[in-house]
Chain A
């Protein structure tokens, strides 16, 4: 029953005793207040869900708890004593372990080797038999079957996650944090995970589950803390909560209807037609499952949903950066060659990518070069670039879009987020596109820059461009879109009209609830 780790780990406190508490935590990053006086505590033997949308501050809070960041204000208590967590090692020593979304496993080593990696207590001469026995013990205790000798690359994602959990348990973690654990699991694997979580809680561990999925919260947690906008809104007992009450807490502020500008553009015919596209994800499995949608000229179609539900892959599929295994993308009736960015560009699809620094620009090259990144081909004279023209246009763009920079020759990487995005937009608009795919266009920008970008998106719609807006910021989507499609787990969960939809309705769709409002598993 107790952890097989031979070195002394503190005996788990009796159930009901506070295992870990975070009080008054404030964390600032340049331009953003990630955590604002957040307090949060978990008892031993408790499963506690941390619920919130992206940007609510959940991951930052947990990164503080695991010693990756240091808060500006506030303190952390473990087992009743205040602790200083200056590094991940400190957190591990304090008994806090985290299972990340991106696993830290070595592909070519076996399960048992990964589990004992870095351990100071293993003997110099490795003993495979004892390692195997240890892994078997843990996996039995937690009802997580896994083959100790399998290499990581041979395992499914769900099995890999089990190895991560085993690593945390073995290093003596009393407090286990799971970051969006079911994001990469099938429903069956998720169910198995919940069983494991229950077992660990029964043994006295404290389990914190970071999630945005309401049905999970209801299924596995004892209490739930809701974060919104960097603040902790409420902590409630799961027993008394419903999906609606949680959704309201998670998402619920009134959208300022007055801020929404009705689009002044006339809406024309269908320009972008996506039919039944299915595409594989990076970690195996399908990131997109037979998604269909269409966007008309002058229309803004917003794709809402919590990040990680296929939005990024949708943007990549439409712009040719990801191969499709089924389905088609057409512009003005003509189907595009899939998986070919050039075909998309030629067909008039402009793309403002999520990762503007590493995909949207070549960071070491000048602004002028980046503005010409797609147009240099058509503006050339034979093999030669028209450098004078490129520079002149860059200067025009800098002025028109008010980019703060010493000049067109400056390297792109020296620009601030907002200015960089302006450069990207300038470039994408200058090609007179028919379709604009904007993925997370205002992520990380300050208020002024956000306003500016919104202005450009509306202007595009006014000019009869079909705009596909993909964003985790529900406010933004509600404000700009003519229609909203909500994505969940790679498929379209539903479509709503932003003028009439309620926040609850959208919140439920975002959290995967499409049926009755009592939160039963779809």
Chain B
């Protein structure tokens, strides 16, 4: 009896951690190139609403419409990111203010709401949504089954993405270049690498991932449209990237940890322990602060740290 609650909670942690994971991967790419994207939440919401719109309005079979809707969501996030990229890279606007502006513009009282309203999206549930898939028929294994093998395609795709992003950064030539740009744009520039081009591409890619993260909500988790559906996940993604020391593999771990921590109090309460849920819920945030302190101190910075140029517009000194 008790163990099945654990299982349900863990399975939920994975399911709910997935949009967080997508958003974090996107944020990771942007930050590695030196751009602090505070517009993630907004990008997730436009992705969510556009994906939902696509599902409701495009005719076709489920197998065609759903992937298409995800693609639309990614595109929407990418377009939003393009706007942000233009503002902060070319126009050198303050990255914090610009990111916030984007979130407000796209967010719960903004564009996503506007579109939802105009197309009357709040009335019906999604025509199609991602459902749990019995992977390799292993869903019936105790514990591991439902947690790992009874998830939606979006979850499995997220695992693939983690691997791809991780390999990209550590093993490919462009990945090396972007790591150099994030750390020392002047050095990269001197070696003939286009800082502007890489930052644009990675910020846009970040938006695309965020859009998919939003689609996780509107096409899988709560296949309805509700205003502000993502509930702040985008902000948490920013914390997650730090918590994961800017590494893709740790983003996976962190996403599920964050998810689990919200669910943990329920388990304990069910087992009869009186526990203050907020204590657990606060832990991820506090831990992120601790990580950030370590990473910013002298010793930590070099081994573990933030890309040194994060948040700073790059200007090549010219005579």
A and B touch in the complex (CB under 8 A): yes
Name A residues whose Cβ lies closer than 8 Å to a Cβ of B: 29, 68-69, 88-89, 92, 104-109, 113, 116-119, 122-126, 151, 153, 167
Give chain B nearest CB distance to A346 CB in angstroms.
30
Q: A105-B184, A109-B180, A117-B180 are in contact. Are A126 and B191 (CB under 8 A)?
A: no
Q: Closest 3 A-B residue pairs measured CB to CB?
A: A118-B191, A104-B187, A104-B190
Q: A117-B191, A118-B192 are in contact. Are A106 and B184 (CB under 8 A)?
A: yes
Given A117-B176, A117-B180, 19 additional A-B pairs, CB 8 A: A69-B319, A88-B190, A88-B192, A104-B186, A105-B184, A105-B187, A106-B184, A106-B188, A107-B183, A107-B302, A107-B308, A108-B305, A117-B191, A118-B188, A118-B192, A123-B173, A125-B173, A126-B173, A126-B175
Mark contacts of B47-90 with chain A using CB atoms, 8 A cut-off: 1 yes-contact digit, 0 otherwise. 00000000000000000000000000000000000000000000
Give chain A nearest CB distance to B148 CB in angstroms.
29
* A92–B173 CB distance below 8 A: no
**Nearest B-chain residue to A123, judged by Cβ:** B173
* B302–A113 CB distance below 8 A: no
Give chain A nearest CB distance to B303 CB in angstroms.
8
Residues in chain B near residue A122, CB distance under 8 A? 173
Residues in chain B near residue A104, CB distance under 8 A? 184, 186-187, 190-191
**Nearest A-chain residue to B170, judged by Cβ:** A126
* Interface check B177, CB cutoff 8 A: yes
State in angstroms the CA–CA spacing of A117 and B319 once bound together.
25
Which B152-205 residues have C-beta < 8 A from chain A?
171-177, 179-180, 183-184, 186-188, 190-193
State in angstroms the CA–CA spacing of A56 and B173 once bound together.
41
What are 21 inter-chain pairs, A to B, with CB distance below 8 A? A88-B190, A104-B184, A104-B186, A105-B187, A106-B183, A106-B184, A106-B187, A108-B305, A109-B180, A117-B188, A117-B191, A117-B193, A118-B180, A118-B188, A118-B191, A122-B173, A124-B172, A124-B173, A124-B174, A125-B172, A126-B171
Give chain B nearest CB distance to A59 CB in angstroms.
12
State in angstroms the CA–CA spacing of A92 and B319 once bound together.
19
Give chain B nearest CB distance to A305 CB in angstroms.
27
Give chain B nearest CB distance to A35 CB in angstroms.
14
**Nearest B-chain residue to A128, judged by Cβ:** B171
Residues in chain A near residue B174, CB distance under 8 A? 124
Residues in chain A near residue B176, CB distance under 8 A? 109, 113, 116-117, 126
State in angstroms the CA–CA spacing of A167 and B188 once bound together.
13
Name B residues whose Cβ lies closer than 8 Å to a Cβ of A: 171-177, 179-180, 183-184, 186-188, 190-193, 302, 305, 308, 319
Residues in chain A near residue B308, CB distance under 8 A? 107
Residues in chain B near residue A109, CB distance under 8 A? 176, 179-180, 183
Residues in chain B near residue A117, CB distance under 8 A? 176-177, 180, 187-188, 191, 193
* A118–B193 CB distance below 8 A: yes
Interface centre among A89, A104, A151 (most CB of B within 10 A): A104
Interface centre among A29, A106, A151 (most CB of B within 10 A): A106
State in angstroms the CA–CA spacing of A116 and B171 once bound together.
13
* B192–A107 CB distance below 8 A: no
**Nearest A-chain residue to B167, judged by Cβ:** A125
Give chain B nearest CB distance to A22 CB in angstroms.
18
State in angstroms the CA–CA spacing of A104 and B188 once bound together.
8
Residues in chain A near residue B191, CB distance under 8 A? 104, 117-118, 167
Give chain B nearest CB distance to A330 CB in angstroms.
32
Residues in chain A near residue B186, CB distance under 8 A? 104
**Nearest B-chain residue to A105, judged by Cβ:** B187
Residues in chain B near residue A167, CB distance under 8 A? 191
* B302–A108 CB distance below 8 A: yes
Residues in chain A near residue B319, CB distance under 8 A? 29, 68-69
State in angstroms the CA–CA spacing of A125 and B169 once bound together.
11
Give chain A nearest CB distance to B306 CB in angstroms.
10
State in angstroms the CA–CA spacing of A117 and B193 once bound together.
8
State in angstroms the CA–CA spacing of A153 and B187 once bound together.
14
Give chain B nearest CB distance to A119 CB in angstroms.
8
* A89–B184 CB distance below 8 A: no
Give chain A nearest CB distance to B245 CB in angstroms.
12
Give chain A nearest CB distance to B294 CB in angstroms.
16
Cβ-neighbour of B177 out of A92, A118, A123 (below 8 A): A118
State in angstroms the CA–CA spacing of A192 and B173 once bound together.
32
Residues in chain B near residue A116, CB distance under 8 A? 176
**Nearest B-chain residue to A87, judged by Cβ:** B192
Residues in chain B near residue A126, CB distance under 8 A? 171-173, 175-176
Residues in chain A near residue B193, CB distance under 8 A? 117-118
State in angstroms the CA–CA spacing of A167 and B180 once bound together.
15
* A92–B192 CB distance below 8 A: yes
State in angstroms the CA–CA spacing of A105 and B172 once bound together.
19
**Nearest A-chain residue to B193, judged by Cβ:** A118
Interface centre among A69, A113, A123, A126 (most CB of B within 10 A): A126
State in angstroms the CA–CA spacing of A167 and B187 once bound together.
12
Q: A104-B187, A106-B180, A124-B173 are in contact. Are A153 and B302 (CB under 8 A)?
A: yes
Residues in chain A near residue B302, CB distance under 8 A? 107-108, 151, 153
State in angstroms the CA–CA spacing of A104 and B172 once bound together.
21
Residues in chain A near residue B192, CB distance under 8 A? 88-89, 92, 118
Give chain B nearest CB distance to A379 CB in angstroms.
35
Residues in chain A near residue B172, CB distance under 8 A? 124-126
State in angstroms the CA–CA spacing of A251 and B70 once bound together.
72
State in angstroms the CA–CA spacing of A118 and B174 once bound together.
9
State in angstroms the CA–CA spacing of A116 and B308 once bound together.
21
Residues in chain A near residue B183, CB distance under 8 A? 106-109
Residues in chain B near residue A107, CB distance under 8 A? 183-184, 302, 308
Give chain A nearest CB distance to B307 CB in angstroms.
9
State in angstroms the CA–CA spacing of A122 and B188 once bound together.
16
State in angstroms the CA–CA spacing of A126 and B167 once bound together.
10
Residues in chain A near residue B184, CB distance under 8 A? 104-107
